[in-house]
Structure 1
């Protein structure tokens, strides 16, 4: 998704799934703690006034609406963490897994053959 979009401008926009079926309306936008970039949108599905979290990175703005590249059924089955609260790293991980999105992790350095451990590995607390 475009990173130059003001997250507040997403609130109130209609959201559609990959087939063009209406999911609902963007209720809230959640920013990444480290970068401040919009990462998740809570979309009011209308189904018992429930909000479903959708990832913004693979989503895009099209004709003043949020186009989410997932099926409506998958979106409606997303874990429900409630809105208005901070998403914990564990909750975000659950959402990434639900949508089948990978989390990019740095590639570990090759093993140090002399010592049998990772080169540059620091002791972890």
Structure 2
């Protein structure tokens, strides 16, 4: 898995799909609250005057100079549920993000949220 300190340096990097198509710009990271492992990245997509933030899983991501290549294709990421402008992911929205990427969602043992902005 990636070191959290390294991930902070990725802010502003291009996020690419497996074919090298630009999806957007890397903004922030969300960690799994049980393990503190980086799990999702916030990606800013769209034009500067009309943009939105979505999450994409980091599992299988590859990092290169100035880019982060994720294993999900541009259309799937662009169709992910968007975060409210400038807001963090709400706990109630977590299951939708996991479902969108066909990932199993399971809250913590006592119902606590699964993701936290790192």
Please give the root-mean-square deviation of Cα atoms over the aligned residues, in Å. Answer: 2.3
Bigger strand share: 2
Question: 1:1-125, aligned counterparts within 5 Å?
Answer: 2-6=1-5, 7-47=7-47, 48-82=50-84, 84-103=86-105
2:18 alignment partner, SS class: coil
TM-score, normalised to structure 1's length? 0.69
- Structure 1 stretches of 4+ moved >6 Å: none
Structure 1 unpaired stretches of 5+? 105-125
2:12 alignment partner, SS class: coil
Number of residue pairs aligned between Structure 1 and Structure 2: 104
Structure 2 unpaired stretches of 5+? 107-118
TM-score, normalised to structure 2's length? 0.72
Structure with the greater alpha carbon radius of gyration: 1
| Structure 2 CA distance for aligned equivalents of residues 58 and 82 of structure 1 | 26
The structure, 1 or 2, with the larger RCO (C-alpha pairs under 8 Å, 6+ apart) is 2
